[in-house]
Amino acid sequence: MQTWKKAAIIGGIGAGVVLAVSGRRSVGVAVMAGGLALLASEYPEKFETIWENGPDYVNRATKIFATLQQLSERFAEESERRSVAAYHEMRNEYGR
């Protein structure tokens, strides 16, 4: 791959991310899509493989996010339980 193409791809994707994060989401997505389209034109066989395996990636990501959500809920429940126990302990200790 030529140097100018690498710079255009990295610049497009990077600028798109910065724009999306800074609040200009639609423009950022368009710029990222341009960078990814240029990358896809260089490696069409790899993008075809990714496209074909897309549903598997989505399923895996869904499972990962579900597991992370369960973990965060358990952490929240445990911290609530501990804070209530600490409150009762302090209440008994200080006689209120």
- Domain definitions of the chain by residue range: 1-52, 53-96
The answer to whether the Cα torsion of 74, 58, 49, 52 is positive or negative is positive
Average pLDDT, the chain: 86
Give the pLDDT band of residue 96 (cuts 50, 70, 90). low
The model's pLDDT over 22-69, given as tens digits with 9 standing for 90+, comes to 988 899 999 999 988 988 888 888 888 888 888 898 899 999 999 999
> To the nearest whole percent, how much of the chain has pLDDT over 90?
21
- In the chain, which ranges are continuous DSSP H helix? 3-21, 25-42, 44-52, 54-94
* pTM as predicted: 0.50
| Rg over CA atoms, the chain | 24
CB 16 within 8 A of CB 32: yes
**Other beta carbons less than 10 A from residue 40's beta carbon:** 16
The one-character DSSP state at 53 is T
